[in-house]
Chain A
Amino acid sequence: MTAATGPGDLAITVRGLRRTYGTFEAVRGLDLDIHRGEVFALLGPNGAGKTTTVEILEGYRPRSAGEVSVLGFDPALGERELRERVGIVLQETVADQYLTVREMVDMYQGYYPHPLDPGHALALVGLAEQASTRVRRLSGGQRRRLDVALGLIGDPDLLFLDEPTTGFDPNARRDAWDMIRGLRSLGKTVLLTTHYLDEAQQLADRVGIMARGRLIALGTPNELMGSGGAAIIEFDLEGAEGIEGAPGLLSQLPEDAIVENGRVVIHSTEPTRVLAPLVTWAAAQGRELPGLRVVRPSLEDVYLDLVRTAEEASA
């Protein structure tokens, strides 16, 4: 991910981006690089500035300050050459109710100089069988797929996906994820916004977390979870407590261990080192450590923690 850094390798570069509405600063100095061929997820709570950022990149909104380059173009100029190479999936589904799926794709196909074959585009999103169905008879998930097909029909180098699975049931969501993973294999650059952390974790090569108009974290999902620091070790004291060696066990615990309601909780950046004496002790006693769990914080924990810290800092 960090190997190639030449400017030709970047689909999107953003430097010092700002956007104010009246006195409200929606985006407050954003720097971002998105590589060609990468799936990048922009995460953040409502009002974090991610939609404003994406709409500036899509060319829908002017910026107040900063430099932006999308495929080498300034999106604020609204050049047709850029629009020919970009696919957009908005939050709203946009297809005409009375046209068929195939007619919608045909309509959009005519706008682009080097489009995909409509049948191929529909197959990519799993709508081949609904080609002659009218849009109004599609399910919500199918309409969303049609929106993606309309975003893909121009064979774009860069695809914007704004909250592609909001409102989906878990099955439809898994299907949509499979579809988006398929896009990666086409070599498309994808910029995805989402509320769902598992979605980012499942789909994205890299994740940027925004809060209060700033990027507060950036990295691969694994890096971000690592940056959350401490793993959590937990086990029950009950059962161990009653035995001879309980004081022996307690003496093995690190100083910052918390013992509460008969359960031991230890936060540690070195879980292996902390566990070793405990496990050795238990093995020597021929005992189990009842209810033992070692957990890494999920992306969700990291995210909530980061957002809280950012909001407290700016409050």
Chain B
Amino acid sequence: MNGLRLALRQVAFENRSMRRNPAASFFTLVFPLIFLVVFTTVFGNRELVVEGGFTTTMATYYVGSIAAYSIINACYTNVAMNVAFALELGQLKRLRGTPLPTWSLLVGKVLHAVLVGFLLVIIVVLFGWLFYDVDVPTRTLPAAIVALAVGAAAFAAIGLAVASMVPNADAAPAVVNGVILPLTFVSDLFFPMEAAPAWLSSFANLFPLRHLALAVRTAFNPFEVGTGFEPMHLAVVAAWGVAAAIFAARYFRWEPKR
């Protein structure tokens, strides 16, 4: 109980530190919005009509993808970077010498990332609803929240795993982005993979990103007739999360490699 209280305190301090860095927090918050604005400007915001006369806008599809991307950016990229820098600066080593339990420290970082991720999703959905006639999921809202939460937890764990492989802070941006960027382009996130060769599609299926993208998009699909849950896709994402957590627990480092 005490450990949980300490984790929540860490969330508060992480948050204060982030807010004190205006450039970092501004770009974290507007980054997904930039995607939404660019996509609707470049690809247009056509009205889509399906059987039965239901209509929606292209932006509704963009928002689902950008929501998934926001979670990945906040939980994977930011956690991996944050940990890589705290490691380099000796902050993790020093904290390990205090009575603060390890899990409280890491849960605090992850929880803060998850909160930021959900804030990004709320901002982008709200912005889309206000300016691009985006349909906000209602009936499938529980499915959307579950998909985003599973994705947030899994990608935060992957962030910790990658941080434990990064040799030093200078290498962190290259490694962290080098892992995620190629996957972003082959995972149906922003570009449909229909025209892609089958082997590339099979390759993308091995990784959690595409499964998260598809699960979130189903939940954000206004024409979805079911509850919007994608248990198989989420199972793959969760499996990656568990594997990454085990890897991180085994190989997590407290000091930079010298």
Residues of chain A whose beta carbon lies under 8 Å from any beta carbon of chain B: 58-60, 80, 83-84, 86, 88, 90-94, 96-99, 103, 107-108, 110-113, 134, 150, 154
A111 to chain B, nearest CB (A): 5
**Which residue of chain B is the closest to A95 with respect to CB atoms?**
B91
Instruction: List residues of chain A with CB within 8 A of the CB of B89.
Output: 92, 94
**Which residue of chain A is the closest to B12 with respect to CB atoms?**
A107
Kindly list 11 other residue pairs between chains A and B, CB separation below 8 angstroms, not including A90-B90, A92-B93, A94-B89: A58-B97, A90-B94, A90-B97, A92-B90, A93-B90, A94-B93, A94-B94, A96-B17, A99-B20, A154-B98, A154-B99
Instruction: List residues of chain B with CB within 8 A of the CB of A150.
Output: 94
Which of B9, B17, B101 has most A Cβ within 10 Å?
B17
A131 to chain B, nearest CB (A): 15
Assess whether A110 is in contact with B96, with CB atoms less than 8 Å apart: no
- Given the known interface contacts A107-B9, A111-B6, the answer about A60 and B97 at a Cβ–Cβ threshold of 8 Å is yes
- Given the known interface contacts A108-B98, A112-B99, A154-B98, the answer about A103 and B93 at a Cβ–Cβ threshold of 8 Å is no
Instruction: List residues of chain B with CB within 8 A of the CB of A99.
Output: 13, 16-17, 20
Instruction: List residues of chain A with CB within 8 A of the CB of B17.
Output: 96-99
Assess whether B98 is in contact with A83, with CB atoms less than 8 Å apart: yes
Q: Which B residues from 1 to 30 make CB contacts under 8 A with A?
A: 6, 9, 13, 16-18, 20-21
Cα–Cα distance between A113 and B99 once the two chains are bound (Å): 9
A206 to chain B, nearest CB (A): 24
Residues of chain B whose beta carbon lies under 8 Å from any beta carbon of chain A: 6, 9, 13, 16-18, 20-21, 89-91, 93-94, 96-101, 254-255
Cα–Cα distance between A58 and B254 once the two chains are bound (Å): 14
Query: Out of A98, A108, A112, which one reaches B21, CB within 8 Å?
Result: A98
Instruction: List residues of chain B with CB within 8 A of the CB of A91.
Output: 90
Assess whether B97 is in contact with A83, with CB atoms less than 8 Å apart: yes
| Contact residues of A: prevailing secondary structure | loop
Cα–Cα distance between A92 and B256 once the two chains are bound (Å): 12
Assess whether B93 is in contact with A110, with CB atoms less than 8 Å apart: no
**Which residue of chain B is the closest to A81 with respect to CB atoms?**
B99
Assess whether B97 is in contact with A59, with CB atoms less than 8 Å apart: yes
- Given the known interface contacts A96-B17, A99-B16, A103-B16, the answer about A111 and B94 at a Cβ–Cβ threshold of 8 Å is no
Query: Out of A58, A80, A96, which one reaches B101, CB within 8 Å?
Result: A80
Instruction: List residues of chain A with CB within 8 A of the CB of B101.
Output: 80
B53 to chain A, nearest CB (A): 53
**Which residue of chain A is the closest to B88 with respect to CB atoms?**
A92
19 A-B pairs within 8 Å (CB atoms) are namely A60-B255, A80-B101, A83-B99, A84-B99, A88-B97, A88-B98, A90-B90, A90-B97, A92-B90, A93-B90, A94-B91, A94-B94, A96-B91, A98-B16, A99-B17, A107-B9, A108-B98, A111-B6, A150-B94
**Which residue of chain A is the closest to B102 with respect to CB atoms?**
A78
Cα–Cα distance between A176 and B100 once the two chains are bound (Å): 28
B78 to chain A, nearest CB (A): 15
Instruction: List residues of chain B with CB within 8 A of the CB of A111.
Output: 6, 98-100
Cα–Cα distance between A117 and B84 once the two chains are bound (Å): 32
Cα–Cα distance between A137 and B89 once the two chains are bound (Å): 17
Cα–Cα distance between A99 and B96 once the two chains are bound (Å): 19
B77 to chain A, nearest CB (A): 19
Instruction: List residues of chain A with CB within 8 A of the CB of B254.
Output: 60
B230 to chain A, nearest CB (A): 39
Instruction: List residues of chain A with CB within 8 A of the CB of B100.
Output: 111
**Which residue of chain A is the closest to B101 with respect to CB atoms?**
A80
Cα–Cα distance between A88 and B254 once the two chains are bound (Å): 15
Instruction: List residues of chain A with CB within 8 A of the CB of B93.
Output: 60, 90, 92, 94
Cα–Cα distance between A98 and B99 once the two chains are bound (Å): 23
B4 to chain A, nearest CB (A): 13
Instruction: List residues of chain B with CB within 8 A of the CB of A88.
Output: 94, 97-98
